Amino acid sequence: MRPTALLLKLLTAWLVLAVAACVWVSFVILWQITGGLLLFVMLVDVFTLPRRGRITGKRSVPGRFALGVKSQVTVTITHAANRPLALEVFDGIPTAAEAEGLPHQVSVPPGEFAAITYEARFVRRGQHAFTPAHVLADSLLGLWRNRHFVAGESQTKAYPNYEPVVRFAMLAMANRVETMGIVKRRRMGASLDFHQLRDYQDGDVLSRIDWKATSRRSTLVSRDYEETRNQTILLVPDCGRRMRALDGGLSQFDHCLNAMLLIAFIALRQGDEVGVVGFGGVQRWLPPVKGAHSMPKILNHLYNYEASGEPSDFIEAAERVMTLQRRRALVILLTNLRSEDGATLASAVSAMQRRHLVLAATLREQELEQRAEAPIDHLHDALQYGALTHYFTERRHLLESLRSKRVLTVDESAQMLPVALANKYLDVKAGGLL
């Protein structure tokens, strides 16, 4: 039980009257009468507070949230009092979430309920719990209020932002994949398996005409191909401290997870299998899974990955990949390369290339690019521009050295990485490189 602002104002007024009574004797009687009356009203009003258990509630919360995306949470409040109750509700949101519209003030008539809806947004992935909501109920005259706990505890999970995956699925069903920026590549014979024979159509390549079937049917027959399936895509995310840097409100590691979800979704639809090997503080392994129905398994495996405070060891990553993945695979290494990575990265890549096709996907810091484009007005700006130019040059040389060793590379900003990586995967499939 606690006093309200109204009661504090009344007590303040009574104290002012007490000061006046000390100066003018005529105010003493008035001060005593108002004090007794105020005390009586306060005591009576205490008994109008709703008792424990008279206010109940329940919470409707989504089973999963997408990181950084707002979703609605509803708290329904009911009570058993025979008068309207003025309530102030504050839900027990997790520390990893942000909410708008709380605390919420509402008046609930007797025999009715109030549904309070607000939007919550998670800033950290993983499993989280909503604790019981705090409800402050006022007494009849509004002099006192007490606190009630309702709605209990609700569990939920914050997943990586899979909106690009959902958008790709919708566009793919509408046969408009190119709207997202993912380009359908022209298929080459090296990556195709024979599918079926069909009637010749205008525009078919002459090399695909099956002359034996044509001679038997006395009409042109073409061979139809489909892309090679049952290949393995191994995602190797860098979980070291370099991936904790923020880029556009999310860490670079979260941007990598978004790209991994999109490439996994596309690969599973292509008939390939997808596995995950973490390194740099996270020693987790998801053996390759296959089929569109396996996407939830990948989501549940990745949703609580976190970038650690440990350094990234590419040699360790290569050893784990070679130990865990015996079959030839497209190894997609997702990281943020630095100039000092040259020696260790070259050794790691050479070790994996003995069995696998390696693709190094690295994130460009958008903030650094924006600083490099800023006008130069002072000596400090010039020194900063020189340092950035040196950094970009070393980074470019590192990527060129990887390409000279026949390592595939993707160097994109965090926002463009998912689409760029998807296009590179389709290039690999179309070129028969795997």
Residue 413 covered by a domain: yes
Residues 19 and 116 in one domain: no
Residue 210 covered by a domain: no
Residues 299 and 276 in one domain: yes
Residues 299 and 280 in one domain: yes
Tell me what pLDDT residue 236 has: 94
Q: Which of 23-37, 260-274, 326-340 has the lowest mean pLDDT?
A: 23-37
Residue 82 covered by a domain: yes
Note down the domain range covering 28. Answer: 2-46
Residue 306 covered by a domain: yes
Distance, in Å, from the CA atom of 17 to the CA atom of 184, rounded to the nearest integer, reads 83
Residues 29 and 93 in one domain: no
Residues 139 and 239 in one domain: no
Residues 115 and 26 in one domain: no
Residue 286 pLDDT greater than 90, yes or no:
yes
pLDDT, the chain, mean: 83
Residues 29 and 99 in one domain: no
Residues 244 and 144 in one domain: no
Tell me what pLDDT residue 84 has: 87
Residue 280 pLDDT greater than 80, yes or no:
yes
Residues 126 and 271 in one domain: no
Burial class (CB in 10 A: 0-12, 13-18, 19+), 82: exposed
The two structure tokens encoding residue 299: 């989501």
Distance, in Å, from the CA atom of 391 to the CA atom of 388, rounded to the nearest integer, reads 5
Q: Which of 80-94, 107-121, 182-196, 211-225 has the lowest mean pLDDT?
A: 182-196
Q: Which of 54-63, 200-209, 301-310 has the lowest mean pLDDT?
A: 200-209
Task: Compare 12 and 224 and report the one with higher pLDDT.
Answer: 12
Contacts of 278 (CB under 8 A, 6+ apart): 236, 237, 239, 284, 285, 305
Tell me what pLDDT residue 171 has: 61
Residues 338 and 276 in one domain: yes
Residues 241 and 333 in one domain: yes
Residue 173 pLDDT greater than 50, yes or no:
no
Residue 79 covered by a domain: yes
Residue 295 pLDDT greater than 50, yes or no:
yes
- Condensed to tens digits (0 to 9), the pLDDT of residues 395-424 reads 888 888 888 888 899 998 887 888 888 888
Question: Domain boundary residue among 159, 190, 221?
Answer: 159
Question: Domain boundary residue among 135, 159, 183?
Answer: 159
Q: CATH no. for residue 65?
A: 2.60.40.10
Residues 396 and 372 in one domain: yes
Count of the separate structural domains present in the chain:
3
Q: CATH no. for residue 284?
A: 3.40.50.410
Residues above pLDDT 90, as percent of the chain: 18
Burial class (CB in 10 A: 0-12, 13-18, 19+), 195: exposed
- Condensed to tens digits (0 to 9), the pLDDT of residues 346-398 reads 889 999 999 999 999 998 877 777 777 788 888 888 888 888 888 888 888 88
Can you tell me the mean pLDDT for 83-108? 88
Question: Domain boundary residue among 159, 178, 206?
Answer: 159
Confidence bin at 277 (pLDDT 50/70/90): very high
Distance, in Å, from the CA atom of 229 to the CA atom of 232, rounded to the nearest integer, reads 9
Residue 185 covered by a domain: no
Tell me what pLDDT residue 203 has: 67
Residue 289 covered by a domain: yes
Tell me what pLDDT residue 273 has: 93
Residue 190 covered by a domain: no
- The answer to whether 354 and 405 have CB atoms below 8 angstroms apart is no
